[in-house]
Chains A and B, each alone.
Chain A
Amino acid sequence: MKLPIYMDYHATTPVDPRVLEAMLPYFTENFGNPASRNHAFGWAAEEAVDKGRKQVADLIGAKPKEIIFTSGATEANNLAIKGVVEMYREKGNHVITCVTEHKAVIDTCKKLEKQGGRVTYLPVQKDGRIDLDELRAAITDKTILITIMTANNEIGVLQPVTEIGAIAKEKGILFHTDAVQAVGKVPFDVNQVKADLVSLSAHKMYGPKGVGALYVRRRNPRVLLAEQISGGGHERGMRSGTLNVPGIVGLGKAAEICQADMVSDTARLLALRERLNEKFHQNLDEIYINGSMEHRLPHNLNISFAYVEGESLLMGIADVAVSSGSACTSASLEPSYVLKALGAGDDLAHSSIRFGLGRWSTEEEVDYIVDKLTNVVRRLREMSPLYEMVKEGVDLSKMQWIAH
């Protein structure tokens, strides 16, 4: 087993060697610009882009023409939301989203509000999912877009996107979903979900960083977007800029591999995740799973180890790469807004660790992490005044704390 161990696959994934191999010729000998329509270099590049477009489309049940390449999912989210709001402003100005969305969606929505748009941020239930009745109640005659993620990046919880898509369709509202964490990992079909816009990214599915795509539905309805980057009119005029050919080749190859291996990968990761979860529960008391276990990505586990703080946990497992919802590990010095939204209390957000398993995770790594983290949790609990108080029978929620 090689140290350090990487178990943070929601943050990013390594490029699969097969993906890298497919990309390499497009940096050197096949370096052409696909917009060069009059020579062989351009034709070769265009052919590669077409193939990538088809591979991505096939993974999500779309048509190749419905795939718009971008620099990543942040750009795809921005293009989807801003593009729709700008294009359909005659129809309305109201967008519905959810409090646990990625910042690329939340902050885009906040900007729209500053520009006079209206946004509803739906709360989530204890399990991390939105309440469909609350969604229905939030819809007005000015609602033009619902944007709800397929799977959450911290807690791996799957939103009821098929039901959301049906509601949106029934009301004639466009439905965008940030599916970055789900595409390539769990089955996702644009027609089953009835999604009109879908964001995805290569580097979350063993492709390179710096490339992603936005699915834009072309029939029933034909979705129009106001361009956010102007220029040569690439990508059906929705996203100008010379195409990132090696990136697109990599995204396509990554999509193809994910599609071919999805069933076996999912089964293997689910078994590893269950092993991780069961072992922690055997070893430790007072640990809490954040978010639904039933509606969850197979490779995600998010646990709060009560009475110990996340950053101090990470410090004790320096040879393991995982992440925490603790304030101390974030740039904003705020604990994870996703965990706070679950309503479990900020103290549990501070105590959380996110495990993201992936293509190269092994049983040996899982066992190593469980042993190591168990020891650290025990050691830190011996050092924790909260654990001591609870063992003495003090109710922490009834204490008068001096917040600082």
Chain B
Amino acid sequence: MAYSDKVIDHYEHPRNVGSLPKNDVNVGTGLVGAPECGDVMKLQVQINPETGVIDDAKFKTFGCGSAIASSSLATEWLKGKTVDQALAIKNTDIVTELALPPVKIHCSVLAEDAIKAAIEDYKKKREESKPGAAVGAHAQPSA
């Protein structure tokens, strides 16, 4: 099985490995996948509440080289994007950029899921941190 040069580059020099403070209200964390499936991605975004722009992104991934490359690439793309722009990133963009073979498409799907989960987590935390949110949350649980 041959890897594309871009996959190898991300594997050997992963961008933005690490963790952001997960309790920070401006940080959203997405944790997707399962150990028994062979891949788990943790992707975090730090969003400027004034501008809605992602000013930092970090990842940690348990998975094959393509999973590591997909999440590394995702963090690279996320920085500087607005939340809406981030949500517009599709797994097929990752497939194309990394030249992933068909058997590795699920790695890109996982990366897209991780982005969405991180942003959802951020939105949820923002909602809950608003004054009176606790009452509101009880009255109308968010999905």
Give the residue of A315, A382, A402 whose beta carbon is less than 8 angstroms from that of B33: A402
CB-based contact A350/B41 at 8 Å: no
A311 to B40 Cα, complex, angstroms: 14
A401 to B35 Cα, complex, angstroms: 8
Give the residue of A333, A383, A388 whose beta carbon is less than 8 angstroms from that of B103: A333
CB-based contact A386/B35 at 8 Å: yes
A384 within 8 A of B: yes
Q: Which chain B residues (1-24) contact chain A, with CB distance < 8 Å?
A: 1, 3, 8, 11, 14, 17, 19
A58 within 8 A of B: no
CB distance from B132 to the nearest CB of A (A): 29
Q: Which chain A residues (305-353) contact chain B, with CB distance < 8 Å?
A: 307-309, 311-312, 315-316, 326-329, 333, 335, 345-347, 350
B37 within 8 A of A: yes
**B14 / chain A contacts, CB cutoff of 8 Å:** 383
Segment at the A interface, from B48-56, B60-68, B77-85: B60-68
Residue in chain A with minimal CB distance to B65: A315
B141 within 8 A of A: no
A11 within 8 A of B: no
Give the residue of A335, A383, A386, A402 whose beta carbon is less than 8 angstroms from that of B68: A383
A3 within 8 A of B: no
Residue in chain B with minimal CB distance to A382: B17
Known: A327-B38, A403-B37, A404-B33. A384 touches B11 (CB 8 A): no
A396 within 8 A of B: yes
Main secondary structure of the interface of B (DSSP, over half): mixed
CB-based contact B34/A385 at 8 Å: no
A315 to B10 Cα, complex, angstroms: 12
A123 to B19 Cα, complex, angstroms: 42
B128 within 8 A of A: no
CB-based contact B68/A312 at 8 Å: yes
CB-based contact A383/B17 at 8 Å: yes
CB-based contact B35/A350 at 8 Å: yes
Give the residue of B11, B37, B41, B113 whose beta carbon is less than 8 angstroms from that of A315: B11
CB-based contact A401/B68 at 8 Å: no
CB distance from B143 to the nearest CB of A (A): 16
CB-based contact B62/A308 at 8 Å: yes
A329 to B63 Cα, complex, angstroms: 12
CB-based contact A311/B64 at 8 Å: yes
Interface range on chain B (Cβ under 8 Å from partner): 20 to 34
CB-based contact A346/B35 at 8 Å: yes
Give the residue of A309, A382, A384, A404 whose beta carbon is less than 8 angstroms from that of B64: A309
CB-based contact A384/B62 at 8 Å: yes
CB distance from A298 to the nearest CB of B (A): 30
CB distance from A290 to the nearest CB of B (A): 16
Known: A382-B17, A383-B14, A402-B33. A309 touches B62 (CB 8 A): yes
**A403 / chain B contacts, CB cutoff of 8 Å:** 34, 36-37
Give the residue of A333, A345, A382, A384 whose beta carbon is less than 8 angstroms from that of B36: A345
Residue in chain A with minimal CB distance to B19: A388
CB-based contact A309/B11 at 8 Å: no
**B37 / chain A contacts, CB cutoff of 8 Å:** 327, 346, 403-404
Give the residue of A350, A382, A383 whose beta carbon is less than 8 angstroms from that of B38: A350
Question: Could you say which of B3, B8, B68, B110 has the most chain A C-beta atoms within 10 Å of its C-beta?
Answer: B68
B126 within 8 A of A: no
Question: Could you say which of A329, A350, A396 has the most chain B C-beta atoms within 10 Å of its C-beta?
Answer: A350
**A307 / chain B contacts, CB cutoff of 8 Å:** 62
A335 to B62 Cα, complex, angstroms: 15
CB-based contact B64/A326 at 8 Å: yes
CB distance from B71 to the nearest CB of A (A): 9
**A382 / chain B contacts, CB cutoff of 8 Å:** 17
Residues of chain B touching chain A, judged by Cβ–Cβ distance below 8 Å, are 1, 3, 8, 11, 14, 17, 19, 31-42, 60-65, 67-68, 103, 106, 109-110, 113
Q: Can you name 27 A-B pairs with beta carbons within 8 Å?
A: A309-B64, A311-B64, A315-B8, A316-B11, A326-B38, A327-B38, A333-B103, A335-B38, A345-B35, A346-B37, A346-B38, A347-B35, A347-B36, A347-B38, A383-B14, A383-B61, A383-B68, A385-B31, A385-B42, A385-B61, A385-B62, A401-B33, A401-B34, A401-B35, A401-B40, A402-B34, A403-B36
Q: A402-B33, A404-B32 are in contact. List 20 more A-B contacts (CB 8 A).
A: A309-B39, A309-B67, A312-B65, A315-B3, A315-B65, A327-B37, A328-B38, A329-B1, A345-B35, A347-B35, A383-B60, A383-B68, A384-B62, A385-B40, A386-B35, A387-B62, A401-B36, A402-B34, A403-B34, A404-B33
